[in-house]
Chains A and B, each alone.
Chain A
Amino acid sequence: MNTRTMDRRQFLQSGLMAATLAAAGKLPLLSAETSVDSGIDAATGPYAVKPIRDYLSRFSPAQTPLGQKQQYSLTYDIIHWHWKAGNRSTFANTVVGQIAIKSERQNNRALYDISQQTTIGGVNNFIEAQITCHADAFGSLSRWRLHSCEQSLDGEADRLSELTEQGTCRDGRIQVDCGNYRYEFEAENPVVSQWTVLALLIRKASPQLSVTFDLLQDLSLFKPNQSLVYDGQTPVKLKGENTVTLQTYAQIGQGVLPIHYLLDAQGRPQLITSSILSWALSGQQNLA
C-alpha cells in the first residue's frame, strides 16, 4: 500500500465520519485547522504536529496492518525539539531514543513489557518495566516493576544510578516501594501510564471518546485529572510532499502540556506530540 492510496481511503472515511457526526450534531466546533485565531501559529501548520515539523519531512507511517488489538509490539522514536546549533531562530528535531511497548493478553488482563532508552547529556538512560493491568474498561494499572539505570557512552553501567521500584494500584491507592522507602498516591480516576494509554486509544478511539483518568508517568509521577477527547482530523505533510490525514485526540491535565495522539485509519497511534518531546511510530510487530 502506498501513501497516496491510504490518503484517498482515509479521505473517504473522514468524509463519512464528518457527515455522521454532523447529522448527530456532534461535530466538534473546530475540528479542522483551517481557521487559526492566534498571532503566533498562523504560519506554522497544524498545532498537533507543530513540535515535529522538521522530523515529519523524514517520516513514513508504518503500514503493516495491526493484528489482534492487544497483542502487538510497537516501537517509537523519541523526538526532541531543539534550536539548530548556532541559530536560535530556527529549530530542528533529533531522535534521542526509542521506546518499545509490547502488549499481550493473559487471562483477560493486559501485560506489558516496556523498554526505553534515551540519550540525555551524553548519557544513555534505560527504563525497563513489566506491567500488569486490571481487566477493566481502561486497562488500568494493577501492579508493576520498574528498573532504571544509566550507562555511559563507553558502555559501563553506573551502579549508583540503578533503581528498582515495585508498585501496586488497588481501589485508587497507589503504593510504590523503592527498597528503603515507600511513597503513595490517592487516585480518584482509573490510573494509566503514558505507555498503556495507547492501548486505550487503540481499543476505544472514536469521535465520541471523552474520558478522564489519572496518569502515573514513568510509573512514578502522579498527574491526576487528565482529560482525553477527540480533537478532529489533522492533515500531516510527510516525506515526499505526501499528506496523510490522521484522527487526532487531545489530552490535557495537571502536569502535562497538551498531548496529541494522531491515529491512522486502523486506530494505531502513529504520532504522539507534546512539546519538547514527541514520539513517532518506527516499528511494529504483531504477536501471535
Chain B
Amino acid sequence: MGVQKPNIVFVHIDQMHHKTISAYGCKYVHTPNLDEMVRDGYSFMQSYSAMPQCCPARASWFTGRMSKEHGVVVNSYPIDPEIPDLGQWLRDVDYETLYTGKWHVSGRNVANSFEVLHRGSGHGELGDSAVARSAVAYLRNRTGDKPFFLSVGFLNPHDCCFPATSDGGPGKYAFAPKIMDKLPPLPENFDYDYKNTGMRKIRNWSQQDWRYYIYSYYRMAEMVDAEVGRVYDAVRNGPYTDNTLFILTSDHGDGLGFHAKVSKGYLEEQASRVPAIVCWPGKVKQDFRDKQHLVSGVDVAATICDYAGAPPLPKMTIARSWRPLLQGSDIKWRDYVICETSIGQLSVCVRDARFKSIIYQDKTKLYDIQNDPLETADLADDPTYATIKKRHRQRFREYISQIEIYPGPSDINKQSGKLKRGNLYKAYVEWYESVKAEV
C-alpha cells in the first residue's frame, strides 16, 4: 500500500502588506487567525511576489513561471495558452482540483482547470464570506477518496483600491476626526524625500486622510483574517487535519502610506514583499520564522507539485520547492531572488541576503535592506557599493539567461489593438536581450 497523498489547501489573499499581521509585531491590526497560523506553521519572512500585480503574480503561482515566461506581464495580457497550470497538472495525478473565489489569471477560464465552487466578486466585502462558506461547505460535504487540491481566493484587503481613488470612493474620510485616537501613525518613511530619486508624492491627501486610509486598510485585513480563520478551522478541527498541507500567501502588497504610496505594481518592499505561511502540524516546523531564505511566489507551484507527488510543471526555470526548508533540511538555497514589474517603467528587483537593487532601463537604485528596511537611502551612486551594484547587474543577466522569454502570441499584430499598454512583449524582449548581451 502506497503513501497517502496529502490534501492541499492554498489560500491566497489579495494586496496584503507583508507587515499586516499582529503576530509579526504590527500594533494597529488584530489578526488572531493569521496569528494562529504563524504559531502553527513556518513563516517565510523574506518572501517576494514574482510580479506585484494581480494577474502576473497569480499566473506565476499556478504555472511556476515568471511573468516574462508565462506572458501575463500586466493584468490585461493573456497567459500563453500552451502552458499547463496546477489545476490541470494535479488532475493528471489523480487529485480532485477545486477552486473558489478570485482567480484572475487573464486569458484562462478557471473552469477548464478546476471544478469551480464559487466565483466570488470583485469586492471582498461582497464576496469573501460566500467564498469562505463555499470552501467550508465543500470540506463538510465532499465524498470520495481522492486527495484534493483546494484553492481559495479572497479579495480583501484589495477593497482598499476603492477608497484610494481621488474622491475616496466609498471611504468615509470625513469621519476621521471622530476617531483620531484610533488612527495609526504614518509610516516612518512616509516623508522620505524623493527629490533624489525622481519620484514625488502623487496624492493631495491630508495627513489625516492618509491615516484614515491606513486605518481602513487594517480593518479590511481583519475582515479577511476572519474569513481565513473559517477555512483554517474547518481544516484543522475537521477530519482532514492530519493529512492536509495549508499554504497562505498574497499576490502582492500595498503601499499603505510607505513612501507615501498606495497600491502596487512597483518594486519597493511595501508592494513586492508578501506574507507566506505554511502549516501542517507534525510535518512542517511550527512557530518558525525563516529570516534567511529568499523565496518567491513562483515557488508555490514547485512546492505544491512536490508535496502532491506530481512531476514538476514543465520549464520551471526559477521555481524551487520549499519542502526541504519546511522539513528542516539543510540544503543549498538560492543566493538571490528576482521580482519583476511592467507597470510604469519596466524594472527588475534583485534581492540578496543584504542588498536590493531596483534596475530600470536607464538607472539603478540600491538599498541596504538589512540596515535600511524602509528603503530611505539610495546607495547606487556611492562608490563604496559599486561592487554590489555590479554584482546585481550580473545576477540580472544570469536570470535572463535562465528563463525562457515569452516573445508574445504568434498573432500579436491582430492582438495589438487590444493591449492597453502598447506592445510590452517587444519592449521587454528588447531590453532583456540587450542586458543579456552585455559583457
A binding-site residues for B, Cβ under 8 Å: 30, 33, 36-44, 46-48, 50-51, 80-82, 88-89, 91, 96, 118, 120-123, 125, 148-150, 159-163, 178-183, 217-218, 220-223, 231, 250, 252, 254-258, 260, 274-277
A-B residue pairs, 5 tightest by C-beta = A181-B238, A276-B125, A121-B119, A41-B174, A51-B170
- Given A162-B141, A260-B172, 5 extra CB contacts under 8 A: A50-B174, A159-B141, A160-B137, A217-B129, A255-B222
Find A178's partner among B126, B140, B212 (CB 8 Å cutoff): B140
Cβ distance A30 to chain B, nearest Cβ, rounded Å: 6
Inter-chain contacts of B409 with A (CB < 8 A):
none
Asked whether B159 is an interface residue with its Cβ less than 8 Å from the other chain, the reply is yes
7 A-B residue pairs with CB within 8 Å = A30-B177, A33-B174, A38-B208, A120-B121, A161-B133, A181-B140, A221-B230
Q: A180-B140, A255-B219 are in contact. Are A40 and B170 (CB under 8 A)?
A: no
Q: Is the CB of B126 within 8 A of A257?
A: no
* Binary per-residue interface labels of chain B (128-154) against chain A in the complex, 1 for a CB within 8 Å, 0 otherwise: 011001101111111000000000000
Find B167's partner among A40, A80, A220 (CB 8 Å cutoff): A40
Inter-chain contacts of A161 with B (CB < 8 A):
117-118, 133-134, 137-138, 141
Cα separation A37 to B222 with both chains bound (whole Å): 27
Most chain A CB within a 10 A radius of its CB, from B136, B137, B227, B230: B137
Q: Which residue of B lies closest to A81 (CB)?
A: B170
Q: Is the CB of A178 within 8 A of B220?
A: no
Cβ distance A216 to chain B, nearest Cβ, rounded Å: 10
Asked whether B234 is an interface residue with its Cβ less than 8 Å from the other chain, the reply is yes
Q: Is the CB of A40 within 8 A of B121?
A: no
Asked whether B168 is an interface residue with its Cβ less than 8 Å from the other chain, the reply is yes
Cβ distance B359 to chain A, nearest Cβ, rounded Å: 31
Q: Is the CB of B119 within 8 A of A275?
A: no
Q: Is the CB of B133 within 8 A of A221?
A: no
Find B237's partner among A82, A121, A149, A182 (CB 8 Å cutoff): A182
Q: Which residue of A lies closest to B234 (CB)?
A: A181
Inter-chain contacts of B191 with A (CB < 8 A):
none
Inter-chain contacts of B176 with A (CB < 8 A):
37-38
Asked whether B333 is an interface residue with its Cβ less than 8 Å from the other chain, the reply is no
Cα separation A43 to B227 with both chains bound (whole Å): 35
Inter-chain contacts of B219 with A (CB < 8 A):
254-257
Cα separation A84 to B175 with both chains bound (whole Å): 25
Find A80's partner among B123, B139, B179, B208 (CB 8 Å cutoff): B123
Cβ distance B214 to chain A, nearest Cβ, rounded Å: 13
Q: Which residue of A lies closest to B235 (CB)?
A: A181
Find A276's partner among B119, B170, B237 (CB 8 Å cutoff): B170
Cα separation A158 to B58 with both chains bound (whole Å): 28
Inter-chain contacts of A41 with B (CB < 8 A):
167-168, 172-174
Cβ distance A53 to chain B, nearest Cβ, rounded Å: 10
Cα separation A41 to B162 with both chains bound (whole Å): 14
Count of chain B residues with Cβ under 8 Å from any Cβ of A?
63
Q: Which residue of A lies closest to B134 (CB)?
A: A161
Cα separation A92 to B138 with both chains bound (whole Å): 34
Q: A37-B177, A161-B134, A221-B226 are in contact. Are A258 and B119 (CB under 8 A)?
A: no
Asked whether B405 is an interface residue with its Cβ less than 8 Å from the other chain, the reply is no
Cβ distance A227 to chain B, nearest Cβ, rounded Å: 9
Inter-chain contacts of A223 with B (CB < 8 A):
222, 226
Cβ distance A83 to chain B, nearest Cβ, rounded Å: 8
Inter-chain contacts of A47 with B (CB < 8 A):
172-175
Main secondary structure of the interface of B (DSSP, over half): helix
Q: Which residue of B lies closest to A218 (CB)?
A: B129
Find B163's partner among A30, A48, A275 (CB 8 Å cutoff): A275
Asked whether B431 is an interface residue with its Cβ less than 8 Å from the other chain, the reply is no
Q: A38-B176, A178-B136, A250-B178 are in contact. Are A160 and B168 (CB under 8 A)?
A: no
Cα separation A150 to B30 with both chains bound (whole Å): 31
Inter-chain contacts of A255 with B (CB < 8 A):
30, 219, 222-223, 225-226
Q: Is the CB of B237 within 8 A of A181?
A: yes
Q: Is the CB of A276 within 8 A of B173?
A: no
Q: A180-B239, A252-B179 are in contact. Are A148 and B162 (CB under 8 A)?
A: no
Asked whether B127 is an interface residue with its Cβ less than 8 Å from the other chain, the reply is yes
Cα separation A162 to B262 with both chains bound (whole Å): 39
Q: Is the CB of A80 within 8 A of B137?
A: no
Asked whether B24 is an interface residue with its Cβ less than 8 Å from the other chain, the reply is no
Cα separation A82 to B127 with both chains bound (whole Å): 13
Q: A160-B137, A163-B140, A257-B219 are in contact. Are A44 and B177 (CB under 8 A)?
A: no
Q: Is the CB of A125 within 8 A of B172?
A: no
Q: Is the CB of B130 within 8 A of A125?
A: yes
Find B206's partner among A37, A50, A80, A180 (CB 8 Å cutoff): A37
Q: Which residue of B lies closest to A160 (CB)?
A: B141
Asked whether B205 is an interface residue with its Cβ less than 8 Å from the other chain, the reply is yes
Q: A44-B168, A275-B125 are in contact. Are A258 and B179 (CB under 8 A)?
A: yes
Q: Is the CB of A30 within 8 A of B178?
A: yes
Cβ distance B122 to chain A, nearest Cβ, rounded Å: 8
Cα separation A178 to B239 with both chains bound (whole Å): 12
Inter-chain contacts of B133 with A (CB < 8 A):
125, 148, 161, 163, 220
Inter-chain contacts of B226 with A (CB < 8 A):
217, 221-223, 255
Asked whether B41 is an interface residue with its Cβ less than 8 Å from the other chain, the reply is no
Asked whether B309 is an interface residue with its Cβ less than 8 Å from the other chain, the reply is no
Cα separation A271 to B119 with both chains bound (whole Å): 29
Inter-chain contacts of A231 with B (CB < 8 A):
178
Q: Is the CB of A39 within 8 A of B206?
A: yes
Cβ distance A118 to chain B, nearest Cβ, rounded Å: 7
Inter-chain contacts of B129 with A (CB < 8 A):
217-218, 220-221
Q: Which residue of B lies closest to A224 (CB)?
A: B30
Asked whether B171 is an interface residue with its Cβ less than 8 Å from the other chain, the reply is yes
Q: Is the CB of A150 within 8 A of B134?
A: yes
Cα separation A30 to B174 with both chains bound (whole Å): 11
Q: A40-B209, A148-B137 are in contact. Are A81 and B120 (CB under 8 A)?
A: no
Cα separation A217 to B179 with both chains bound (whole Å): 23
Q: A30-B178, A38-B206, A40-B171 are in contact. Are A121 and B239 (CB under 8 A)?
A: no
Q: A120-B130, A180-B239, A181-B237 are in contact. Are A44 and B125 (CB under 8 A)?
A: no
Asked whether B233 is an interface residue with its Cβ less than 8 Å from the other chain, the reply is yes
Inter-chain contacts of A37 with B (CB < 8 A):
174, 176-177, 206, 208
Cβ distance A272 to chain B, nearest Cβ, rounded Å: 13
